[in-house]
Amino acid sequence: MKKAHVSHGTGEFAPADLKGVGEGVIFEKGVLVFHPEMIELGTNIYVGHGAILKGYYQNTITIGDNTWIGQNCFFHGAGGISIGRNVGIGPAVQIITSYHREQGIEIPILFSELAFAKVTIADDADIGVGAIILPGVSIGKGVQIGAGAVVTRSVPDFAVAYGNPARVKKTRK
């Protein structure tokens, strides 16, 4: 028997569909939201054109007050995403919270078990254009992540990290 294929939906939503949404939240044209019931937004948040907030049936995406999300960002919240207050997230940033486990060459990677790991971004952080944040990473308070960085491990408070893979280059004072 063939397995039925199911669409993830259109991503169209109304703010009232969200788990929670504060005042002063702006969604630009073309923003897509999946599983809005798993997404909670504070106040004064900007979500740029073409951004995708992809909630999942488990875990939540939580975004704190006064956060700015640039155009064409992609947040995949299967493992959970927690973003603090006063965070700047540049255009085309990707936050990924799941991956396929290695189960040997007999199982195609696509069909291997999914693993989930939460991403946390603390207050006052700034994520540069096109950065990629991988599952399980915590970004500390006041951290600056450079444009195009691939963040594969956690970054301590007030650090400046960039590169591929991202490395801490200095501490902000």
What's the pLDDT tens digit per position in 117-150?
A: 999 999 999 999 999 999 999 999 999 999 999 9
Q: Which of 5, 35, 76, 100 is catalytic?
A: 100
Q: Give the pairing type, strands 88-89 and 68-69.
A: parallel
In a domain? residue 19: no
| Least confident span in 1-15, 57-71, 107-121 | 1-15
Q: 65 is in which domain, residue-wise? A: 35-171
In a domain? residue 93: yes
Q: What is the pLDDT of residue 97?
A: 98
In a domain? residue 5: no
Averaged pLDDT for residues 46-57:
97
Asked if the model's pLDDT at residue 3 lies above 80, the reply is no
DSSP label at residue 16: G
Q: Under a CB-based contact definition with an 8 Å cutoff, are residues 51 and 25 in contact?
A: no
In a domain? residue 1: no
In a domain? residue 12: no
Q: What is the pLDDT of residue 98?
A: 98
In a domain? residue 42: yes
What CATH number is given to the structural domain containing 53?
Answer: 2.160.10.10
In a domain? residue 143: yes
In a domain? residue 26: no
Which residue, chain included where needed, has tokens 């960002």?
Answer: 73
DSSP label at residue 149: -
User: How far apart are the C-alpha atoms of 19 and 53, rounded to whole Å?
Assistant: 13
Averaged pLDDT for residues 70-83:
98
Q: Under a CB-based contact definition with an 8 Å cutoff, are residues 39 and 18 in contact?
A: yes
Q: Which residues pair with 138 in a beta bridge?
A: 120
User: How far apart are the C-alpha atoms of 96 and 78, rounded to whole Å?
Assistant: 8
How many domains does the chain divide into?
1
Q: Under a CB-based contact definition with an 8 Å cutoff, are residues 73 and 52 in contact?
A: yes
35 part of the active site: no
52-73: pLDDT as tens digits: 999 999 999 999 999 999 999 9
